[in-house]
Amino acid sequence: MITREEIDAVLAAHAAWKARFHDFLVGRSGVDIAVLGTTDHCAFGNWLDNYGAKYLEKQQYEEIDALHAAFHKIAADVAARLKARDFAGAHALIAQGGELEQASAALAARLLIVKDAL
């Protein structure tokens, strides 16, 4: 069974990942660019694959998994654009209201729907 506290914990893990990604973007830390687009190298993804898959309803799991994958795809796209020195393209993705923020908000909103239903 999933608890409200678990949802809060995975939302916090997602926020922590975003903070580390921000640190990478501003040059304060490194990130393994090869795994940015994967969903199984973060705490949220590990929880989703190992616990969420077992206890979420199938439709909930599939929606959250898709939203999580979309978020990581955009993060990988940001890194690829930076590597290609497409700074304007990368900035557009990470700007306030940009695709990365929208994907993160959609993921969090879906998790909050699950939490509210508990």
Our count of domains for the chain comes to 1
- Residue 109: give the domain boundaries: 4-117
Q: What is the pLDDT of residues 17-47, one digit of tens each?
A: 999 999 998 889 888 888 999 999 999 999 9
- Measure the CA–CA gap between 35 and 79, rounded to whole angstroms: 11
| Burial (Cβ within 10 Å: 0-12, 13-18, ≥19) of residue 56 | middle
Q: What is the pLDDT of residues 86-108, one digit of tens each?
A: 999 999 999 999 999 999 999 99
- Measure the CA–CA gap between 2 and 24, rounded to whole angstroms: 32
- Measure the CA–CA gap between 109 and 34, rounded to whole angstroms: 28
- CATH code, 54: 1.20.120.30
SS3 33: helix
pLDDT of residue 33: 87
> Global pTM?
0.93
| Residue 113 Cα distances to 60, 81, 83, 110, 116, angstroms | 10, 33, 36, 5, 5
